[in-house]
Amino acid sequence: MAIALCGLLTHQRLTAQTTQTNITVANVTPSEFTLIWKAPAGSLPDVRVFADEAGTQSLSGQVGVEPFPLHTGYPGATNAFERRASKSFLRSKTTGHGLQSARVRGCAPGTTYYFQVVSSSPAGTNVNPRTAPLPSVTTALRNSFVADSVQVLMEVQGLDVAGRIVTLSHSNTLSSIAAVVGDGAGTNEVWFNLSELMSLDGGNNFTPSGSLRLVAQVLGSGPDGGRVLPVTVDFAGAFSVARSVQALVSTELVALTLGQTVLQAGQTSSVPVSMDSSVPLGALDFTFQIPPGHLSNLVLEAVAPEVDPAKLTLQALANGRWLATILPRSGQSLLAAAELARLRFSAIRGVPSAFVPLGIESAHAKKSDATVANVALFRPGRVVVVVEEPLLEALPGTSDSRSVVLYGKPWFAYGIDSSPTIKGPWTTVLKVALTNLSRTLSLPRGPEAQLFYRAFEANTSPSELQIARRTSNQVDLLVFGITGTNYSVQAAGNISAPMQWHDILSFKLTNSFRSIGGISTTNRETYFRIQAP
């Protein structure tokens, strides 16, 4: 993590600040304060403010409440529309991380305010706390001149950090300050003004000197939330109205991923075991589970040169669970981003086709000095095993498109049925020639809001001919028929009697279909048919 510092601005005096479970009070000034709390994603925040602890004297209309307060949004926005769009994006990301925030404005200096935070969603409205006594915050008495104000630009590492709220505090300050990642900075950066920190006794602005160790906490749910990061800032040197100070702060983030593959019964394949880490590692182990009955002969093979093959182990546990251990060679470390190993296996014959999940249950990592590293994220893998039955997988898309992935035996013909209900009736909407283990298909869209699909091995008797236009004078033909049967493709220039058909190609089907490309059509109209002798 890198921090760039520069100076400016003045600040205020804080007399009291309160933090309650699940509610944090920050950014207290003589005229406002900010509340931060956790709530379900998609909720709308609000604050009820009172003049008394019992919550009987409402200050509605006397103070204002601003949900999801921001400064400028994306700093690269060139017009008002882009700024509004960037703020809307950050607010949606904040609530997506399970966070709510609201700024209470129009307060009087040195005054105590009591509050309840409100989170509203279609599921209902949650008020916290529901009953008295209510938590409180006392605003600062006044703004005071800060001679040497410093601003902090912090890079927050992680997989999804935009919109997260980060708090910054010090052991000798009364309050924390809070900011949103991406507000006034890059999408992985957060900006603070250290002049907003107040001394522990509440009587003065905090006056830093020497080397200052601050604590930044990344809020929100998910693997990047809850991290506490040390931040060191050096204040040595003479005063300057504007200055730049450089510091380095590192974070620990390890992500483990198992890959995906498709294979046919009796085949052997593998999935990658990949790691993305912000620190070099001295050891990595993880436990994963495979449902029984589809994969066998599991082996872990080293890929990265720093992985020691002699120390690579894969241990079978109970109930389909496995423990994998990956260690580096002597004097080396597991590097930041690499495919470390491959998990190899064979697909069992004589079982139904299936999607086989490779679910990671737990993962542990140690740094090169043997201290524990934070494995913040692990992504499971998957193996698609094709035996006899086809498999169908829906793909997410827009409301105007419907796409699926068909898994099946290569060089077999399959049909796709659709129905408005799971019970039918079913209608065949597509016949597909599969040349590989899988194929992505766009399905015709009907008026129904919901459709169910199923796949089946198609009956290719009687024979069938599909035509697709390639250019203005060429077409592609797809012939479905019985394997081992001789067929002739014939063409005619019109269908008026007497029709004159002539052979353009004769062949013997070695599979249930054959693709014939680039058939020239010089006539204005050309008709095709398939015949068996």
* Residue 233: per-residue pLDDT: 66
Among the candidates 386, 410, 426, a domain finishes at 386
Angle at the Cα of 172 from the Cα atoms of 167 and 178, rounded to 5 degrees = 15
Cis previous bond, 447, omega within 30 = no
Domain assignment of residue 457, yes or no: no
Check: CB of residue 413 under 8 Å from CB of residue 460.
yes
Q: Using CA atoms in the order 110, 112, 116, 120, what is the torsion angle rounded to 10 degrees?
A: -20
Residue 459 lies in a domain: no
Contact between 174 and 17 under an 8 Å Cβ cutoff? The reply is: yes
Show the DSSP H helices in 43-169 as ranges: 80-96
User: Which of 190, 223, 248 represents a domain boundary (last residue)?
Assistant: 248
Q: Verify that 238 and 316 share a domain, yes or no.
A: no
Residues in Cβ contact with 409 at an 8 Å cutoff, skipping those fewer than 6 apart: 264, 386, 388, 390, 434, 437
Beta-carbon contacts of 471 under 8 Å, excluding residues fewer than 6 positions away, are none
- Is residue 125 located within the same domain as residue 194? yes
Same domain, 315 and 413: no
Q: Judge if the upstream peptide bond of residue 498 is cis by omega within 30 degrees of 0.
A: yes
Print burial letters for 285-298: b (CB count within 10 Å at least 16), e (below 16).
Answer: bbbbbbeeebbeee
The CATH number that applies at residue 471 is 2.60.40
For residue 58, tell me if it sits in a domain.
yes
Residue 26 domain boundaries: 2-248
Is the residue at 361 inside a domain?
yes
User: How much is the pLDDT for 4?
Assistant: 31
**Residues 160 and 304 both lie in one domain:** no
Q: How many domains does the structure of the chain reveal?
A: 4
Selection from 397, 385, 444 nearest residue 417 by Cα? 444
Residue type, 525: E
Whether 455 is in a domain gets the answer no
The answer to whether residues 294 and 241 belong to one domain is no
- 451-498 pLDDT tens trace: 899 999 988 888 888 888 777 778 888 899 888 899 999 888 887 878
Tell me what pLDDT residue 79 has.
78
38 and 24 belong to one structural domain: yes
> Which domain-ending residue is among 198, 224, 248?
248
Residues 159 and 93 in one domain: yes
Residue 109 lies in a domain: yes
In terms of domains, do 428 and 524 share one?
Answer: no
**Does residue 456 belong to any structural domain of this protein?**
no
239 plus 261 within the same structural domain: no
Q: Name residue 103's beta-bridge partners.
A: 34, 66
Question: 59 with 15, same domain?
Answer: yes
pLDDT at 18: 40
Q: Which tokens in the block code for residue 481?
A: 């028929």
Per-residue pLDDT of the chain (533 residues; tens, 9 = 90+): 333 333 332 223 333 334 344 789 998 888 889 999 998 888 899 999 999 999 999 999 999 999 999 888 888 877 788 888 888 889 998 998 889 999 999 999 889 999 999 999 888 899 999 998 999 998 887 777 766 667 778 877 776 788 999 988 887 776 788 999 989 888 788 888 777 777 666 556 676 666 777 788 888 776 556 666 666 666 555 444 444 444 444 456 788 899 999 999 999 999 999 988 878 889 999 999 999 999 999 999 999 999 999 999 999 999 999 999 999 999 898 876 778 999 999 999 999 999 999 999 988 988 888 888 877 677 899 999 999 999 999 887 655 668 899 999 999 999 999 998 998 899 988 899 999 999 999 887 777 778 899 999 988 888 888 888 777 778 888 899 888 899 999 888 887 878 888 888 899 988 888 988 888 887 778 888 988 86
Domain CATH number, residue 302 = 2.60.40.680
93, 131: one domain = yes
Residue 232, in any domain of the structure = yes
d(CA 402, CA 444) in angstroms, rounded, equals: 7
Cα separations (Å) of 525 from 353, 479, 522?
A: 45, 20, 8
Residues 236 and 289 in one domain: no
SS3 140: coil
